[in-house]
Amino acid sequence: MPITPANGGSAETAETATPSGSAERIMLELVDEDGTTIGTAEKLSAHLAPGQLHRAFSVFLFDDEGRLLLQRRALGKYHSPGVWSNTCCGHPYPGEPPFVAAARRTAEELGVAPALLREAGTVRYNHPDPASGLVEQEYNHLFAGLVRATPRPDPEEIGEIAFVTPDELEKLRAEGPFSAWFMTVLDAARPAVRELTGTAAGW
């Protein structure tokens, strides 16, 4: 399970933190329990307790051996810094299709375009982050796909990356913290992941 530090060039992205450590002013889509857009809210305010239900996405990319690409969130992130999480996650801009947002952020954070990207369902959850006190009230669109190019992670977004098997994932989870939402989104995406990677990969 080689872990690769991020050392690529910095990119100006939509979800970086300002020098003061606060998030830039970004608007998110607020949704109802059915995922229908009902308004917008500023990103940080949507995450303040008790949280406002908003649209999000999570991406799971695998190599041709069926290993999952994980990222460790950069220490400068205002939300859940320094924890391991899935390949990419974020929020569509208001009116932006989740698939487009998922492809955009994958390119911005990891410097690669997926060789394949497909929808993997949706999941709704409420996950407080004990470290920051922020709350993830999200209607999350899931995507699974393949990556064949070498990732070039933006170090302002990502501290490290690793390709892991299911067994290596369990060892990594025992060693260090993961994002509060990680297992929820992975479990919800598993049917699509198994269809993508095949039973031999073990997901």
Tens digit of pLDDT for each residue in 105-114?
Answer: 999 999 999 9
Catalytic residue among 15, 138, 156, 157: 138
| Annotation marks residue 88 as catalytic | no
- Rounded CA separation 110/95 (Å): 24
Catalytic-role residue among 89, 108, 156, 157? 89
Question: How far is it, in rounded angstroms, from Cα 200 to Cα 65?
Answer: 10
DSSP percent split of the chain into helix, strand, coil, nearest 5: 25, 35, 45
Contacts of 169 (CB under 8 A, 6+ apart): 68, 70
Mean pLDDT confidence for 97-111: 97
Cα atoms in the Cβ-side hemisphere of radius 13 Å centred on 77: 27
The predicted model gives 131-151 an average pLDDT of 95
Within 8 A by CB and 6+ apart from 5, the residues are 159, 160
Between 154 and 76, name the one with better pLDDT. 154
pTM listed for this prediction:
0.88
Q: Tokens 């297992």 belong to which residue?
A: 183
Helix (H, G, I), strand (E, B) or coil at 90: strand
Q: Which residues pair with 124 in a beta bridge?
A: 139
The model's confidence at residue 156, banded by pLDDT at 50, 70 and 90, is very high
pLDDT tens-digit map of 33-91: 999 999 999 999 999 999 999 999 999 999 999 999 999 999 988 778 899 999 999 99
CA 24 to chain CA centroid, nearest Å: 18
Residue corresponding to tokens 């690529």: 8
